[in-house]
A = this chain, B = another copy of it.
Amino acid sequence: MTLAEMLAAFATAPVTADAQMRRFVGFSLADWAAVGLAGVDEPVARAARQMAQEDSGGLGVAAVIGGGRAAARAAALANGATSHALDYDDTHFLHIGHPSVAVIPAALAVAEAQGASGADFLDALTVGLETACRVGAWLGRSHYEAGFHQTGTSGAFGAAAAAGRLLGLDRATMAQALALTATRAAGLKSQFGTMGKPLNAGFAAETGVTAALLAQAGAESAPLAIEGAQGFGPTHAGSALDDAFAGLGTEWVFPGISYKFHACCHGLHAMLEAVGSLMPLDPDHISRVRIRTQPRWLDVCNQAAPETGLQAKFSYRLTAAMRLAGVDTAALASYSAETAARPDLIALRDRVEVIGDRALRDTEAVVTIDSGTGSVTARHDLAGRLAPELIETRLRAKAVSLLGAGRAEALWQAARALPDVPDMARFSALLGSPG
């Protein structure tokens, strides 16, 4: 059996996902929508919406986040770029990338075009997200280090699986869609720090929709297009890890997904979690804060005295002070020149010391806080799993921080209602709303 056939068998079979998988798909969907809506005014989101508008003349079958409608493929592209614009979406370390921003836009565009039910949409996400993670793991670290961006590459395979399922492709046709994806998938890591990074997510989403539509229309590809001689993996420094597909269809790797709860550099998150676990503490009584972190972060996010909002997003000292003072680190608006200039935060910031510690992993941080009542220490490792109940609580709080309570609640309710609704209308309408 070829790799395309094996993945097609998985993507077209009845979905046997366990309750945990389904729960995490729901979390990712709601978080994706909140982050996407929060990103609509980013320059890359505006550019992608304008491109979709130019391409489709304002007509189309699918909603564009931030308003308007477009052709299915253009909507997938725009929504992928918009939802990755803030880099605040979910991450899967096995996948080595961001699965939701490629898979969800592809599935949503096709679900709208097809008039699919909410349940069918969720099933498509389930197989698409799992496919993206498995293919990302199969491509492996060598692919990433050679310069490829799994969000764009393995993301396209997940997007094709999700789009193809919603089109009702049979197994052989789904295999063609996945094989066609092999000659279309792309995305370079050298785009990081530019709009090319979020666009890679949009391109992946569009590639999936395109390949699925072409296969549905009868297009055929090379059977060994993914793993064969000069297939996608061999031409793109793929690791071809044998066990990447172990248990596919019975075991689910996607629930290992990580969510971002703070709107700042990922290197600060373990520290912010450790600080949070020590709260509440009265800032006025704090005499000293010591942060231990893996030394590689010291070049990345250790701005000692930030002055701008962007600098604030890369500052151990200021974000620790913000968290201790009760500033919402999940809200984008918290990272501002005004925040950086607040005298009380500067006073607290100047009592924070940052220490590199090679004994720590780069997902870990140790924080020690001295106050009038003594010294307390907490350690946090982002690689640890959180209880689903806690994740939900925190994702809902994040959505409130990003969108306000009313829109956040409407979004979570619409996502929660999907298993029982006949179409995507209510959910999609929230994405286009002006806020």
Contact = CB atoms under 8 A, between A and B. Distances in A.
Interface of A: 43-44, 46-48, 50-51, 54-57, 59-61, 71-74, 77, 113, 146-149, 152, 179-180, 182-191, 193-196, 199-200, 203, 209-210, 213-214, 216-222, 224-225, 228-232, 234-235
A237 to B, nearest CB: 8
Nearest to A232: B188
A137 B55 CA distance: 31
B73 A213 contact: no
Contact of A230 (B57, B190, B203): B190
A188 B182 contact: yes
Contact of A183 (B51, B55, B191, B221): B191
B191 A54 contact: no
From A59, A61, A216, A221, name the one whose CB has the most chain B CB atoms within 10 angstroms.
Answer: A221
A147 B234 contact: yes
Given A183-B152, A196-B180, A55 B43 contact: no
Given A59-B59, A214-B48, A235-B147, A183 B187 contact: yes
- Give the 4 A-B CB pairs with smallest separation, nearest first: A147-B230, A50-B217, A47-B217, A47-B219
A88 to B, nearest CB: 19
A47 B218 CA distance: 5
Contacts of A149: 183
B60 A190 contact: no
Contacts of A235: 146-148, 188, 190
A43 B200 contact: no
A68 to B, nearest CB: 13
A340 B60 CA distance: 49
A44 B221 CA distance: 10
Contacts of A57: 59-61, 71
A188 B48 contact: no
A31 to B, nearest CB: 25
Contact of A222 (B55, B152, B193, B234): B193
B221 A194 contact: yes
A397 B222 CA distance: 35
Nearest to A236: B235
B46 A191 contact: no
A136 B359 CA distance: 49
A188 B56 contact: no
